[in-house]
């Protein structure tokens, strides 16, 4: 079979250089330019890495043109509909869906690992009461590295899976504690009798003693449909290929830093308004628009090249079709509309924006379809999760993806420290 190559011609010198083409099992092939500088004395120039594959991976596949997302080869629609978040976590970490006994043991281990070291609990007292939960969460994950400093033997599968299970289990507790500290209210300890997702909702909502908010009919219990909705959101956020925060995690991993420090760096990157913080911005913008009558005016502003107003929740760097995660959440939102009493005013505003965007040539020609952030905020609001916790919820779901990417990087013998070059234009 003839070897596939890419021939580069330097028109300054007439020199031809040949580079191998690496075929993927799905998606575009890649030209192996690793020796470009050595061969030609020039760098490739790709700000934002729009056409650069920084690694090879078997974890997640995205086809932006088709609107396709797969974890370990399984379409996200199937995982979201037929499997739980913990099954998805197991799949990402172990490359196969768990058996009944494997899922039972995995679930049991995470329940017992959800508790925090008392020293780490005390650390929260050092943070200001008004700190954003993302700042507290990032700092506490960094601190977690000081409580688990052991050197990881990457030839020992038991060791790195223990490390992975620990951070997945503790992240909901850290996030809930960060939220409750921001309010100055007592922490609620994990409950080993509760599932992963229900435990998080309980730690967010309960009063000491495990009681929920008191309503007209007595103590309000967490509904199973609420658990299922949040579990679906966790699944949809579990991994998303080489996005900004995942790239940060891999880059920090390349320095040999502790995995929890790498994940803390990913949390910091995710906080950005252009990344994970977008879901918080979407709900804030819907509230700012205020009513359906105001939508057309804001749409006009979004289309005005002289106006810096940007419509949040539309378009995606990779997807040039409907974000498949958004389609899952759209169906979930419609299902929850009556059951959870979703904010009808925000739904009406969002519905009108969606209707216009899906039919207006301006949006259609630019592939500005609703993305996952457009629907997440309304659902999280119905789950009584405040706006400043939207991104920590994203963190909880994404932790398994980050740690799986970290493991893959560390196991790859060709991995090197990240060191991009630059095109210098100064004096």
pLDDT score, position 347: 81
Q: Specify which of 129-138, 350-359, 392-401 reaches the highest per-range mean pLDDT.
A: 392-401
Mean pLDDT for 218-240 is: 89
Residue 423's Cβ-count burial label (10 Å; 0-12, 13-18, 19+) is exposed
Mean pLDDT for 164-192 is: 95
Strands across the sheet containing 5-10: 5-10, 15-22, 30-31
**Which residue shows structure tokens 């700092």?**
139
**For residues 86 and 102, what is the distance between their CA atoms, to the nearest angstrom?**
11
Mean pLDDT value across the chain: 89
Using the predicted structure, report yes or no on whether residue 387 has a pLDDT greater than 80: yes
Tabulate helix, strand, coil % of the chain (nearest 5): 55, 5, 40
**For residues 48 and 243, what is the distance between their CA atoms, to the nearest angstrom?**
11
| Confidence tier at 211 by pLDDT (50, 70, 90) | low
pLDDT score, position 213: 54
Nearest to 168 by CA among 92, 233, 99, 60: 92
Residue 94 CA, distance from chain mean position: 19
Mean pLDDT for 95-116 is: 98
| Confidence tier at 210 by pLDDT (50, 70, 90) | low
What 3-state DSSP class applies to 30? strand
CATH 2.20.28.60 describes domain 5-69: yes
| Domain locations along the chain | 5-69, 76-276+404-411, 278-382
Mean pLDDT for 148-160 is: 79
Mean pLDDT for 112-131 is: 90
Nearest to 55 by CA among 323, 327, 425, 416: 416
* Residue with the larger pLDDT of the pair 274 and 225: 225
**For residues 30 and 19, what is the distance between their CA atoms, to the nearest angstrom?**
10
Correct CATH for 278-382 of 1.10.3720.10, 3.40.50.2300, 1.10.230.10, 3.20.20.70: 1.10.230.10
* Residue with the larger pLDDT of the pair 227 and 335: 227
Look at the pTM and tell me if it is higher than 0.85.
yes
Characterize the bridge pairing of strands 68-71 and 60-63.
Answer: antiparallel
pLDDT (tens digit, 9 = 90+) per residue, 297-318? Answer: 999 998 988 988 888 878 777 7
**Which residue shows structure tokens 């699944």?**
235
pLDDT score, position 217: 40
Using the predicted structure, report yes or no on whether residue 52 has a pLDDT greater than 70: yes
| Confidence tier at 338 by pLDDT (50, 70, 90) | confident
Known catalytic residues are 316, 373
Mean pLDDT for 334-346 is: 77
Mean pLDDT for 250-267 is: 95
| Confidence tier at 215 by pLDDT (50, 70, 90) | very low
pLDDT score, position 151: 66
CA-to-CA dists, residue 24 to 27, 28, 53, 92, angstroms = 6, 7, 11, 19
Contact 4, 21 (CB under 8 A): yes
Mean pLDDT for 257-266 is: 95
Using the predicted structure, report yes or no on whether residue 17 has a pLDDT greater than 50: yes
Classified by CATH at the fold level, domain 76-276+404-411 comes out as Citrate Synthase; domain 1 (1.10.580)
């Amino acid at each position: 079979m003839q070897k596939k190559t890419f021939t580069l011609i330097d028109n300054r010198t007439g020199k031809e250089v040949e580079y191998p083409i690496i075929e993927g099992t799905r998606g575009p092939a890649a030209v192996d330019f690793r020796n470009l500088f050595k061969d030609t004395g020039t760098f490739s120039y790709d700000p934002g890495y729009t056409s650069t594959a920084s690694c090879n991976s078997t974890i997640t596949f995205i086809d932006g043109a088709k609107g396709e997302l797969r974890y370990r080869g399984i379409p996200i629609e199937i995982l979201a509909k037929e499997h739980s978040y913990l099954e998805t976590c197991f799949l990402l970490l172990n490359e196969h869906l768990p058996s009944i006994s494997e899922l039972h043991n995995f679930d049991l281990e995470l329940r017992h690992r959800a508790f925090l070291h008392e020293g780490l609990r005390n650390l929260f007292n050092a943070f200001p009461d008004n700190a954003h939960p993302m700042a507290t969460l990032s700092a506490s994950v960094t601190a977690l590295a000081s409580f688990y400093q052991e050197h990881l033997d990457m030839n020992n599968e038991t060791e790195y899976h223990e490390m992975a299970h620990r951070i997945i289990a503790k992240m909901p507790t850290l996030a809930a504690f960060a939220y409750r500290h921001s309010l100055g209210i007592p922490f609620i300890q994990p409950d080993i009798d509760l599932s992963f997702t229900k435990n998080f909702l309980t730690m967010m909502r309960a009063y000491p003693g495990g009681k929920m908010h008191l309503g007209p009919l007595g103590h309000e219990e967490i509904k199973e449909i609420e658990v299922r909705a949040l579990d679906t959101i966790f699944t949809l956020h579990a991994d998303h290929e080489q996005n900004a925060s995942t790239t940060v995690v891999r880059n920090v991993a390349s320095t040999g830093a502790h995995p929890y420090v790498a994940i803390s760096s990913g949390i910091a990157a995710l906080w950005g308004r252009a990344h994970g913080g977008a879901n918080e911005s979407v709900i804030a913008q819907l509230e700012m628009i205020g009513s359906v009558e105001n939508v057309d005016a804001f749409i006009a502003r979004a289309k005005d090249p002289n106006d810096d107003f940007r419509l949040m929740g539309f378009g995606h760097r990779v997807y040039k079709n409907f974000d498949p995660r958004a389609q899952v959440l759209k169906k979930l939102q419609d299902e929850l509309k009556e059951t959870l009493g979703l904010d009808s005013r925000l739904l009406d505003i969002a519905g009108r924006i969606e209707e216009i965007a899906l039919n207006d040539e301006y949006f259609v020609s630019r592939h500005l379809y609703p993305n996952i952030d457009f629907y997440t905020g309304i659902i999280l609001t119905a789950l009584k999760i405040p706006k400043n916790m939207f991104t920590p919820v994203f963190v909880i779901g994404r932790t398994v993806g980050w740690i799986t990417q970290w493991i893959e990087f560390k196991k790859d013998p060709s991995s090197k420290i990240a060191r991009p070059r630059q095109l210098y234009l100064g004096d």
